[in-house]
């Protein structure tokens, strides 16, 4: 069975504040190692659970989505990284050949409190992203895309908030809660070396259960999708010009943009575009 691991940084063991996951942070170089070790634990668990192939895809938007330490990555996986990927942005390697999706180091959706570094796609720009009127996060995009492809989401690692949010839509999901969120930039953390044991065990159980056909599919919302991105600031002139020139986007009010998409791959890509659509003349997405 082929296993797809999406790795983000905000939900990695031991990390609680924005400076932990940004280039300028004093601990960022060390935290890349913590991220790599959480991934390696998931790969090890997946292989122990019967995975025959493991693909890891980086989802953290710092340093052009290259945050793992490639010289320390588990030898028995491949890694998809870097910006400008074809297809569904950071789900480029997620297709129907995958047997189960594991979400490692993911975080709660925008608007969550507590929720360590909770946001949806854009760190500073998006106040809320709604699908069919309900707030959603990155884990929801992954679960919906996986559901479209007939692939279950089998595991989540991160804080208790993202774990509960994923469990609410995928009640079969294995949870590795590596830290308890106390706010948006504070948490009560397990020692990463212990947390890795939880991640490895959860990944193993997820793959074993996937192989046994014991996981479900999430198909919570039926396409075509109607999303709304509520910005923190009023829509700037350049963004307005860019967005109104493109199909699939419309202005709702001075800080809300509606996005229509036939599938979650394009929905994810279009919402991600709004994170940089304020650059003059940038209409490629």
Give, as ranges, the residues between 119 and 138 that touch Zn ion (CB under 5 A): none
Q: Should residue 60 be labelled a site residue for Zn ion when binding is judged by CB under 5 A?
A: yes
Residue 218 buriedness (CB in 10 A; 0-12 / 13-18 / 19+): buried
Give, as ranges, the residues between 8 and 37 that touch Zn ion (CB under 5 A): 8-10
Long-range contacts of 166-169 (CB under 8 A, 24+ apart): 166/103, 166/106, 166/139, 169/140, 169/143, 169/218, 169/220
60 is catalytic: no
- Give the shortest CB-119-to-Zn ion separation in angstroms: 8
Q: Which stretch binds Zn ion (CB under 5 A): 2-10, 167-175, 178-186, 241-249?
A: 2-10
Return d(Cα 233, Cα 125) in angstroms, integer: 7
Nearer to Zn ion by C-beta: 123 or 172? 123
Nearer to Zn ion by C-beta: 189 or 236? 189
Q: Should residue 278 be labelled a site residue for Zn ion when binding is judged by CB under 5 A?
A: no
Q: What are phi and psi of 249, to 5 degrees?
A: -125, 145
Cα 201–Cα 48–Cα 156 angle in degrees, nearest 5: 40
- Give the shortest CB-268-to-Zn ion separation in angstroms: 14
Q: Give the H/E segment covering residue 41.
A: helix 28-48
Return d(Cα 270, Cα 50) in angstroms, integer: 35
- Active-site pick, 74, 106, 107, 119: 119
- Give the shortest CB-8-to-Zn ion separation in angstroms: 4
**How many residues belong to the site for Zn ion (CB under 5 A)?**
4
Catalogue the active-site residues.
119
For binding to Zn ion (CB under 5 A), which residues are involved? Answer: 8-10, 60
């Amino acid at each position: 069975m082929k296993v797809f691991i999406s790795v983000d940084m905000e939900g990695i063991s031991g990390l609680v504040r924005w400076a932990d996951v940004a280039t300028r942070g004093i601990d960022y170089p060390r935290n890349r190692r913590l991220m790599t070790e959480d991934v390696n634990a998931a790969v090890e668990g997946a292989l122990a659970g019967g995975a025959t192939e493991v693909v890891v895809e980086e989802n953290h938007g710092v340093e052009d989505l290259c945050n793992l330490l490639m010289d320390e990555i588990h030898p028995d996986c491949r890694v998809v990284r870097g910006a400008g990927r074809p297809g569904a942005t950071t789900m480029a390697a997620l297709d129907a050949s995958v047997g189960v999706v594991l979400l490692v180091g993911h975080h709660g959706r925008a608007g969550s409190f507590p929720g360590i570094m909770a946001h949806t796609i854009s760190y500073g720009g998006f106040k809320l992203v709604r699908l069919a009127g309900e707030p959603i996060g990155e884990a929801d995009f992954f679960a919906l895309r996986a559901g479209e492809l007939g692939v279950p989401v089998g595991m989540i690692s991160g804080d208790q908030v993202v774990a509960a949010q994923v469990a609410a839509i995928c009640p079969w999901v294995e949870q590795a809660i590596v830290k308890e969120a106390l706010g948006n930039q504070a948490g009560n953390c397990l020692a990463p070396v212990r947390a890795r044991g939880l991640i490895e065990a959860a990944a193993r159980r997820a793959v074993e259960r996937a192989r046994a056909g014991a996981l479900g599919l999430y198909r919570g919302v039926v396409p075509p999708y109607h999303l709304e991105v509520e910005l923190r600031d009023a829509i700037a002139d350049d963004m307005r010009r860019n967005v109104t020139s493109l199909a699939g986007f419309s202005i709702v009010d001075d800080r809300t943009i509606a996005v229509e998409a036939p599938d979650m791959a394009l929905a994810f890509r279009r919402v991600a575009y709004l994170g940089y659509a304020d650059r003059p003349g940038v209409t490629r997405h």
